[in-house]
Amino acid sequence: MQVDFIVIGNGLAGISFCEQLRTHNKTFVVFDDKSQQSSTVAGGLYNPVVLKRFTPVWKSKEQLQLALQMYNRLEQEFNIKLDYKIPVLRKFSSLEEQNDWFTASDNPLLSEYLSTNLIKNTNQCIEAPFGYGVVMQTGRIDVKTLMEAYRSYLQKENRFFDKAFNYEQLEASNDGLKYANIHAKHIVFTEGYGVNKNLFFQDLPLLATKGELLTIYAPNLKIDFILKGSVFLIPLGDDYYVVGATYNWDDTSNDVTLKAKEELLNKLKTFLNCSFEVVNHVAGIRPTVRDRRPLVGQHSVYKNMYVLNGLGTRGVMIGPYVAKQLFEFIEFRTPLENEIDIKRFQ
């Protein structure tokens, strides 16, 4: 089998890069054994504002434009619903936070996202005496549906291998790559935290940040917005909500923990006054980087090997943006932005 690309990983990074390949009529195959769960357990929220500090997300405008175009295209092609447009309401804990919000809304990079009309809380199930600020151009991508549909598409096209990739069996030279019976021009590793076992890119400064999420059933809550308090509360429909997320830099397992569950519930109960039932609990390892920028670039020796990783907590937004950058670097030699190029750590 002769292809242009081998892609390792079928999470948000892998799907985003495969979409670049499809757009440019490149041939490719994908390996994924479901060992990495960061995309699987992602809340799917896209939001152009860092709500802890009221600052803009890096390249938010460019990211949103590319990401929403990609998800809209996949919705139409696969006949599925992915993009749920829904506002984010930031719960204020004090008058000082209200003032900080108004100050931030004067920032030209934030003015189109932060509404200056504060919302008074009228929901008896929520404790929010200082009301909310509304973030615009936000929503939720149904990541689980996306990944299932994309995997199914790849399988029908005979482009998918549901197995682990054996790095030691890759025969590499600058003239080409061979893996089993597959000959390829390039290989791109998008395997998330699994890159720590990658013989070619294992020295990258990728951090394991474990995140855990709960799903609750709260029939009396009745909110049609994403609520950001001490945790996020994301409506899924039919009175189900995602609660998240935790951050743990010491545990690198995908196992759920009682400690994280209690942390999420304790934070949730600081503002939620109604009864609810926990119906699901999931965990995954986010691939993060200390400077909060992705890891994108070319191997220092093998010039046909590349990495696309470190999307962190904002994979649904940033994935399509950095995938486009990497593809244009490979095909057109367009320089990568210094902020994402792995050379910044060399």
- Around Cβ 12, how many Cβ atoms within 10 Å? 29
* pLDDT value, residue 194: 85
Based on C-alpha coordinates, what's the Rg of the chain? Answer: 21
Question: What digits encode the pLDDT tens for the residues 139-185?
Answer: 999 999 999 999 999 999 999 999 999 999 999 987 899 999 999 99
pLDDT computed for residue 40 by the predictor: 62
Q: Is the pLDDT at 277 greater than 90, yes or no?
A: yes
pLDDT in tens, 213-237: 999 999 999 999 999 999 999 999 9
Return the structure tokens found at 180.
């089993």
Report the pLDDT value the prediction gives residue 346, as an integer from 0 to 100: 79
Q: Is the dihedral of CA 35, 41, 47, 50 positive or negative?
A: negative
Cα 193 to chain centroid distance, Å, stands at: 13
User: If we measure between CA atoms, which residue out of 33, 46, 42 comes closest to residue 282?
Assistant: 42
Q: How far is CA 343 from CA 177, 204, 296, in A?
A: 23, 10, 9
Average pLDDT, the chain: 94
CATH class of 2-42+144-205+291-345: alpha beta
pTM for this prediction: 0.93
> Which helix (H) or strand (E) element contains residue 325?
helix 315-332
**pLDDT, tens digit (0-9, with 9 covering 90-100), for 86-97:** 999 999 999 999
Superfamily of chain region 85-137+207-289: D-Amino Acid Oxidase, subunit A, domain 2 (3.30.9.10)
Spell out where 229-340 has E strands: 232-237, 240-244, 277-289, 295-298, 305-309
Residue extents of the structural domains in the chain: 2-42+144-205+291-345, 85-137+207-289
pLDDT tens-digit series, residues 16-74: 999 999 999 999 999 998 766 666 667 899 999 999 889 999 999 999 999 999 999 99
DSSP structure class, residue 256: -
Tell me how far apart the terminal alpha carbons of the chain are, to the nearest angstrom.
35
* Same fold yes or no, 2-42+144-205+291-345 and 85-137+207-289: no
Q: What is the mean pLDDT of the segment spanning 132-144?
A: 95
